[in-house]
Structures are given as structure tokens and as C-alpha cells.
Structure 1
Amino acid sequence: MTDASSSASRPEIGQRVRFRWRKWNGGVHWEHDCVYLGSDRWGDWVGQPAGWVSERPGRQMVTRQACVMLLPPGGEYAYTRNADPNRTQIYIDLAWDVGWRDGEPVGVDMDLDVVKHTERGIYIDDRDEWDEHRVAYGYPLDIVARLEALAVDIEQKVRAGVAPFDEATPAHWLSRLEALHL
């Protein structure tokens, strides 16, 4: 994995950025209008106030509640914590090369997701897409093994409420996002 985070400096706190996801084959995936919030020991945080746009080819959505996203230095996932009353409280995209390029967050979506939903509980999602794409896109076997193990590890940490997957850590960043009055 290249370290995308080392190739560019961070934007100023409060600066708008566009988080650009791609698929392994280079295809465009989700893009999110965000704002840079800062960093802590877990990594860099961006936020998306209610009313901002997320889109991918063929679909656009406007956020109903704010959310914050953590980009940890390892680049193997992006953690999203949605504000209440969103039923999907936590959504963690397993990824490759999440980091910064030209002052904006980027990453390669690797299909597997760890989700915490108020009704469905905590689970690993999109295994069918993972199985399809790891063959179609030719994911290297070492990456497959690493991300499958990481998904299980993150799922356990979410169940245990271990930081940064606890309540207090993202609450701090949601408060910082709200204080920007965007």
C-alpha cells in the first residue's frame, strides 16, 4: 500500500474537501462533500453537516443528519459515525490506501463494511459484493486475508465499544462539526 497520507499536507480546520472513493479497478465510487475537522491519536477527522451531498454514478443523496469520518493512519478503513437519530449509527468501509492526496481525502473501497444498526445490530456487510469483486478485480490474496481478518477485528471492537468506536470519541468530533456553524 502506498501511503496516501504522506503525499500532501492537511487542509485548514473548517476547510471544505471532497472525499473521493474509487473501486479497485479505478472506477468512480462515492464522493462526499466534507469539511476538515482536525486530528487526534486515532487519525484525521472530516465531517459532513446535515444537508450536504454524497453522490456516486447514478445516485445522489443529501444527508439528513450530520456525520463524522475518521481516516486512520493505516489507510485500511474509514469509520463513519452518524448523528442521531440515524439508525445506521456506525458504518466502517474496509478500504485500501485511505489518506490524503492534493489536500483531499481519497480511498479505494474494498466492499466489506462493518455496520452498527439500531435494529439489525452489529454485523459485517456486503460479503456478496466482496466475493464478486475479489475475483472480478483480482484482489491480491494477501490483501484479501488482511482485510477479512481486519473486518472481524473491527467488528469485535465495535461490539466492545473500544475507542474510537465508543460514544465519546465521535461525540467530540460531532460537537466540533456543529460548532463550525456551516
Structure 2
Amino acid sequence: MTADPQRPAPGTRMTFRWRKWDGSPHWRHDCYYLGSDDWGDWFGQPAGSHSSRPGRDVVIDHPDVTLLPPSGDYALTMNAPPHSTRVYIDIAWDVRWSEEGEPTGIDMDLDVVDHAHRGVYIDDRDEWDEHRAAYGYPLDIVERLEKLAVDLERRVTAHEAPFDAATAAHWFGVLAALPREPEVPAVDHARPFVGLRPTPPAC
């Protein structure tokens, strides 16, 4: 990915906002923009950062870094050791920069996980089956994301970049070098999503 003058400066604090297909709020992660590479844009959460969704607010114990790829159909999160989940990929739609200049996307239920004890697997298939009927996911998107989940499962198992330890280690280094720690944020589940529609990402 080439440099983009519209990107914020590395170290800029922001919020990664997720929503469901019907527009309802989902997870929000307070994070820092770290920069970009050939795989896309990277964000990080130092230990002590907040993540929340309606009814749940957590403080993370281990640093993590998240990749927003240009395809816009998943977000890769890698947790620092000794976290038991090395890789957590949210299968998604319309993952991109919002009009407000922050990362956002639609959570599409399926996840690809690399767990220390369970290995690599596709999670939340039951939620996927329930929501694709309840929300009326378009068939072409269903087919695309199901194939994507299987392909990502293969790539994570093979430790291909950017799912490898070396790529994560670089961005954990960038995160560790940030000059300041995050402040405790105010939880804001009611903030509306501006100008966001479930449109296909640029591929």
C-alpha cells in the first residue's frame, strides 16, 4: 500500500467502530493508528486499553495489533504472547475509513481463530446461519465470505504473511514505541454511524 496523505499521523488515537448488518452498534475499540504496509493499515491497543459493546466493557490485558486490508472483507487482530489466542480474524463487510476519519466495518459473524489449545478453526458458524436469515444477507456476499473464511483458515494454518509472527512483531514494536498510554475513554454506544451503508468494498 502506498502512502496516503489523508491517513492520520502514526500515533493518532482513534476508535475502531463495528456495527451489525442492520446498523446496530457492536464492538468499539479505542486504539492508535500505527501506519501502513503492503497489507493495509495497522492499528494497535496497548495493554490497559478499552474495548466495549452494548452490555460489556473490557480492559485488555495484552497488547494487540489489527490490520485493515484494502479488500474490506476482514480485519485481522494479533494478540501479544502469552495471550492464548494468537490470531482472531473478524470476517466482515465494508471495512474502511469512515467519513469521520476512523476505521469502521460491519461484523459478519464468522471468525477465524488460532488458539493455543484448539488450533486453527472457523468460529461462530451458528451465529452466521442465524443472522444470514434474520438480516437477509445477499447470497453473493454469503458465498464470497464463506469461501474467504476457508481460505483464511488455510493461510493462518500455514503462517503466511501477514498472519505470521514476524509481521506481528514489527507492528508490536511500533506500538511499544508510542510516546504515551491511552486515557480511559467515555463509553459511547449511542453515537450514530454517519454515511455508512453496506456497500461492497473496493477490490
**Bin for the TM-score computed over the shorter chain:** over 0.9
| Structure 1 unmatched runs, 5+ | 1-5
Normalised by the size of structure 1, how large is the TM-score?
A: 0.95
TM superposition outliers: structure 1 runs of 4+ over 6 Å: none
1:70-102: CA deviation from partner (whole Å, max 9, x where unpaired)? 000010000000001110110000000111012
Structure 2 partner of 1:25: 22
Name 1:84's counterpart in structure 2.
81
Secondary structure of 1:103's counterpart equals coil
**2:151 is equivalent to residue 153 of structure 1:** yes
Tell me which protein shows more strand as a share of its residues: 1
Shift of 1:103: 1.3
Aligned residues: 176
Q: Residue type of the partner of 2:130?
A: E
Q: Quote the residue 2:184 is aligned against.
A: none
Give the CA deviation at 1:139. 0.1
Q: Secondary structure at the match of 1:162?
A: coil
Return the alpha-carbon distance in structure 1 between the equivalents of residues 53 and 119 of structure 2.
Answer: 26
Larger radius of gyration: 2
Specify which of 161, 167, 170 is matched with residue 163 of structure 1: 161
| Cα distance in 1 between the residues matched to 2:31 and 2:43 | 6
Counterpart amino acid of residue 88 in structure 1? T
Which amino acid counterpart does residue 169 of structure 1 have in structure 2?
T
Matched, 1:100 2:100: no
Partner SS, residue 174 of structure 2? helix
**Counterpart code for 1:85:** P
Write out aligned runs for 1:5-154 (5 A): 9-101=6-98, 102-154=100-152
Post-superposition shift, 1:9?
2.6
User: Percent same amino acid among aligned pairs?
Assistant: 65
Write out per-residue CA displacement over residues 85-136 of structure 1, whole angstroms, 9 at most, x where no aligned residue: 1101100000001110121000000000000000111000000000000000
Structure whose residues are more often helix by fraction: 1
- CA distance, structure 1, for counterparts of residue 60 and residue 71 of structure 2: 27
Q: Output the TM-score relative to the length of structure 2.
A: 0.85
Find the residue that maps to 2:18 and give its secondary structure: strand
**C-alpha contact (below 8 Å) 1:82/1:88 kept by paired residues:** yes
Q: More displaced, 98-107 or 52-61?
A: 98-107
